[in-house]
Structure 1
């Protein structure tokens, strides 16, 4: 399989293609943002110029009348603007007859009574931004300016962006393809070493001279494969030795039993030989089990701990913060309560429940923490409690106990606390209480 075909059908090739597509999308998005921004700025500039021109002509009409306005429009049409931007005008009377200007027809999309504004297209294809207004009951005026400079700027922006994007895409493609080929070659070397178990292939991995992370992975892979090969050879040797050392005496024993069979009870000897065959099969099974167990991951077991001691330490830590918040904390923590668990997670569970109480109980309130045998953990308060219609979903994600809170938190504290409790074989539930909340954690509860 050629390198090009291999990369096209591999994860590395798809990553390279994804990087290329991402660069194209990024270039398109940047172009759209830049084009939209420049176009918006150009439109605002045209709008200001048209509105300024229109305001000046409105003042002339107010002071000099239609005759003076007609003369001024003629003067402006006769001037050649320095920026090659041509202004366009149309002045009509109450009957819609043209009085002055270079535009022939009143644009249907613009209403003088509403002072509408927008882009127009002239018969020769010129596009201009125009605004219409009514100067008096007998006069209506349209003032427009073409957007040739703005269109030229946008055209230059488009060409520049296209060229820059092409350079960026080509550069990204080249670098990505080069790195992809390097990664693909290294993965191929690792795959070849795994498939063949060849010592020379493993040495090539170990001797990778690169300085990046992939080279480090390649070298470590070579070392690991070489170590696995050595372990496999050692395991095979040990297995052969064990099998040989046990099978040899068993073979001698079997031979002696055959000799004994001539002068003894044949059924007893047959049973003895069957026992020997059972020992051999047992030995082979034990070797298979040992090999399988050697490949298992180490279990993330829990440790023996005292949940009462953890609760007592947290209560001492919360004492000052409770006092600062104007709250009282009462504890009922007796003798040590041993259990098997994850100390960090259990601290997180209790912390979430205490934080929940501190968050909702107003100053002057009381919070109680109780830990007894079982273990049974109770955290209760005399705060506002949880509305009845929210109690069924209080442990669900993104659900807060009181809709009238200040919005702190994401409604995940109780969800996490219950998940930790269930991981330890415990169940958390919300008990009925005459006032406030009462959370109970204990084994064997039905929520």
Structure 2
């Protein structure tokens, strides 16, 4: 399964690897530097020892004597042969030494008898290999031909390293994970705050829709690296809005242009002698008039935002029932209005709500059986319900019927164009409400216009 990482997680993970790699690299550099520094410390330590011994080596009457201060002599004795020294005369003979171990270790140094200045080397063990003693030979501060040799053993660089590592782990090492964790937290916080403008852009983009197509993404407080993206999106939205507006104007203009010839055609058909063909022709013209009217309603909904005012749902229902009563009577059906006992006030556009309710009532008149009643009920919810006695709406189609130009089996039989219920749904969305359909208690369908609960203002 593919796992999609967020940009924040990717940046945090990569930054964590960079921090870890940098820490390891610094540790390697420091350890290498410490290793070389330890070697230098060994040399410096031996030089200091040689300089401490040289002033106490004196030649009197051709005889060399070495008398070290008590503290220094005690230090060599108590080291357990960890530190050695010896003074050698020009012939290579040891004239003074810290211990028998020193005399044995420095017994054969013929290779360096004639060396002047300072020389560092490893002492040989009994088998001819290098021992654990690191030595320095120096002639500084001594009579000509004399040399002092100092050596240290046991405290090998590895011992230094182990000591440093133990001290590091005890006093410093535990802070490394804490520092890394703090650095990662700071990095995560930095990344999160740096990516906040992108999240804000995403939230703003989610608000853009058909009803809010004039919204654009902000570009002022956006980093230079991502400013090009909202600019490009805004330009695309501008082009889409222009195309949308052109389509809306075309629909409105076409509908307006059709109204006049349809009105003329309706008048001429009314002058013809009654006949079955004339009635069919009149029905077709009526459907065309309804389609043109619905197209005009769609263009208005897609145009300028609705202008809201305080509207009484009882008044909306009364206006629609009065307007459609002749249509119902002509179809041998009746309309009944059950108004609320008090005004049901909502914020909305009266004309748009009347058009939406008229579409529902016209639809109910078409589908209810002759001799039955279409009932309009205003409730304090606030809501308006329209009940008919038609075939109803199958449960599987109750979401699809509100899509534009959707035509089910019943609608095909009625000759509808599939725009009326879509207009109702869009009108209710524009009012922050919704429309639903269910089975009517007396058989048929019940459509309900639901308004937001906070919108209602009963008085």
Shorter-chain-normalised TM-score: which range?
0.3 to 0.5
What is the TM-score when the length of structure 1 is the normalising length?
Answer: 0.36
What is the TM-score when the length of structure 2 is the normalising length?
Answer: 0.36
